[in-house]
Amino acid sequence: MYRLARINDALERAEVLLCQGLVIFLIFVVFLQVLARFVLKWGVLWTLEASLLSFVWTVMLGSALGVRRGLHYTIDILPKDHPVARTFCYGGILVLALVFAASGTVLAISEWKRFSQPSMIRITFFVACIPVMGVTSVLFIVERILRDLSGRRQALKGTST
């Protein structure tokens, strides 16, 4: 589990840096788009796609970071620390993350030959964030599951002595 935590720490740092860079890029591109359209009276089409690309990647990477930090929405039917509720939530996140990883990979590969018209960016680059989010979410949730299991084992050992 220690090795997985170290790998996930590095992944989290990389995703945070990438998200920060993408948000800065998004702000710059949208500012450029507004400046070109309303001040210079130019229509710049690539800025629309660049802002969309950076926004989609930021949302998907942010979703994976939410899995790592335990920040996703939960339904409070049972207390948050209830083992059944936690198991159900972790299982649901794991299943969805695996679906995103597998289906997103198939989608990204199938879109390799398609291009976006204004910028000629491959559609794969737009949808590649789906399997990236899926794989990192799987790693993050597996770490949380293993951490909970080892914590329960330690608690059980502490009560038995």
Domain positions in the chain = 2-160
Confidence (pLDDT) at 15: 96
Instruction: Please classify residue 111 by burial: count the beta carbons closer than 10 Å to its beta carbon, then call 0-12 exposed, 13-18 middle and 19+ buried.
Output: middle
pLDDT of residue 123: 87
List the one residue out of 62, 32, 57, 71 whose CA is nearest residue 125.
57
Q: pLDDT (tens digit, 0 to 9) for every residue of the chain, 161 residues total?
A: 689 999 999 999 999 999 999 999 999 999 999 998 888 888 777 888 899 999 999 999 999 999 999 887 666 666 767 777 788 888 989 999 999 999 999 999 999 898 887 778 888 999 999 999 999 999 999 999 998 888 766 665 665 55
Kindly list the distances between the CA atom of residue 153 and the CA atoms of 19, 79, 80, 90, 146, in Å, as whole numbers in the listed order: 36, 21, 19, 18, 11
What pLDDT was estimated at residue 40? 85
Distances in Å between the Cα of 154 and the Cα atoms of 5, 53, 110 are: 18, 45, 46
How high is the pLDDT of residue 119?
76
